[in-house]
Amino acid sequence: MSAKFIGQFLLEKGLITREALLAATVHQQRVNLSLGGLAVAKGLLSTEQADAINLEQQRNDKRFGEIALEKNLLDLQQLNELLLVQKEQRIFLGEILIKQGHISRERFESELAQFKQDQKRSTELVTVDLQSLPQHEVIEDFLDMTLKLLLRVAKEQVKITSVSHTGKQFPHTIAQRIKGDRQFDYVLALPEKLLLMLCERFLKVKCAVVDDLALDAAREVVNIITGNGCAKLSVRGMKVSMEPPRSITGAAPDKAVCVGMSSVTADFEVRFYF
Amino acid sequence: MSKKYTILVVDDSAAMRMMITASLQDSEFEVVGAAKDGEQALQLFKDISPDLVLLDIIMPGMSGVETLGHIMALDKNAVVVMASSMGTEDAVQGALKAGAKNFLLKPIEQDGLLKILRTTVSSL
């Protein structure tokens, strides 16, 4: 598996241990506050107001600050100050690994340059592959909403890693049909670990096993992604509707577009069956 | 004690029914019934005559808008709030034209849900 995040890159090259990466990631998450977390810490927003903005972000395509301004919860000066503080306080994973003595600065900087070069090449290839698809506008709209909503609903950062017509095997596959001016199935194929994580972060309850509730929560996450995707198509002047999401089995059909995705938790796929 | 409004929640997702019921706990809205599809919703609507119905649009079998039509035929004064993850102009206008009093965009969070329900009952 090729690395999609710098920590994973260093781990795969045997330059740091799994324990060191985990500890550094936990430290980074504790130090790097979200804009909402920062506004709450500074007494500019209540926890409830920040939560409400976070949830509104799941229903539209706007940034936290944009919504806070619209709701008159923050003014422009407060927002700019928060963004500045956030930038100044932000700590990068590499810095933590260096400070904790897991890697030297010189080695890290050399590896980072290599990683960035690999990523640039990979992104260029994926972009070319996506744009060569006949339905690329629709696919790009839905992929964009997938990345944004997984970050907002599940706090999971995701990268697109590949585009092909051959799907990999995953234990859980959820599909939702879009009808109207564009007709296709949006499909999320994911491993158990990611499904449980989605369930926990969506329902805010512990999900230890894949049961009906966990599958139901994952279907609802798909429903939110496709609902937002359809809203984007609607802005483009297309009339579309959706069927309820459903769990499916079996391999991807021959002409499926299978988009490989990678998150910190696991690799998964978004597929489009036209 | 202020009036408690009884509410029937209709959503094919058990996760959503659970979230909505939890969100309305300790509020002036009491979930007195939960249905997983349109047919069950109509039966419960007849049985319990709730003050409000919170009705998902995208459901297997009878859709939310079809269910809404049947509810309005049973009681033209029924107070129904539609919910969907698809907030397109067509979806919202379609629901309101069919007789819904309000529209709630998913994902549903407690503050937004209470705000919509309170706005809806205050205009009755």
The ipTM assigned to this model is 0.82
Partnered with residue A188 across adjacent β-strands are: A174, A270
CB contact under 8 A, A51 and B109: yes
Q: What is the number of domains present in chain B?
A: 1
Residue B122: name the closest of B1, B21, B8, B3 by CA: B3
- In angstroms, the separation between the Cα of residue B32 and the nearest Cα of chain A is 21
Q: In this complex, which of A51, A202, A224 lies closest to B85 when CB atoms are compared?
A: A224
CATH number at residue B82: 3.40.50.2300
3-state secondary structure chain B: CCCCEEEEEECCCHHHHHHHHHHHCCCCEEEEEEECCHHHHHHHHHHHCCCEEEEECCCCCCCHHHHHHHHHHHCCCCCEEEEECCCCHHHHHHHHHCCCCEEEECCCCHHHHHHHHHHHHHCC
Does residue A74 sit within a domain? no
Q: Could you read off the pLDDT of B79-114 as tens digits, one per residue?
A: 999 998 887 777 788 888 889 999 988 888 888 899
Residue B41: name the closest of B12, B20, B4 by CA: B12
Does residue A117 sit within a domain? no
- Cut 0.90: pTM above it: no
Provide, as residue numbers in chain B, all residues whose Cβ is less than 8 Å from the Cβ of A228: 85
Q: Report which residue type is found at A62.
A: K
- In angstroms, the separation between the Cα of residue B45 and the nearest Cα of chain A is 23
Helix (H) or strand (E) holding A172: strand A172-180
Range of the domain at B57: 35-102
Residue A156: name the closest of A191, A198, A116, A93 by CA: A198
CATH number at residue A175: 3.40.1550.10
40-69 of A, contacting B, C-beta below 8 A: 48, 51-52, 55-56, 58-59
Does residue B108 sit within a domain? no
Residue A202 pLDDT grade (very low, low, confident, very high; cuts 50, 70, 90): confident
- pLDDT of residue B1 exceeding 60, the answer is no
- pLDDT of residue A215 exceeding 90, the answer is yes
Q: What is the number of domains present in chain A?
A: 1
Q: Could you read off the pLDDT of A96-115 as tens digits, one per residue?
A: 999 999 999 999 999 999 99
- In angstroms, the separation between the Cα of residue B10 and the nearest Cα of chain A is 14
Q: Which residue has the tokens 């909503």?
A: A149
Does residue A32 sit within a domain? no
Does residue A104 sit within a domain? no
Enumerate residues 6+ apart whose C-beta is below 8 A from B32: B6, B7, B8, B48, B50
Range of the domain at A191: 133-273
CB contact under 8 A, B18 and A213: yes
Does residue B114 sit within a domain? no
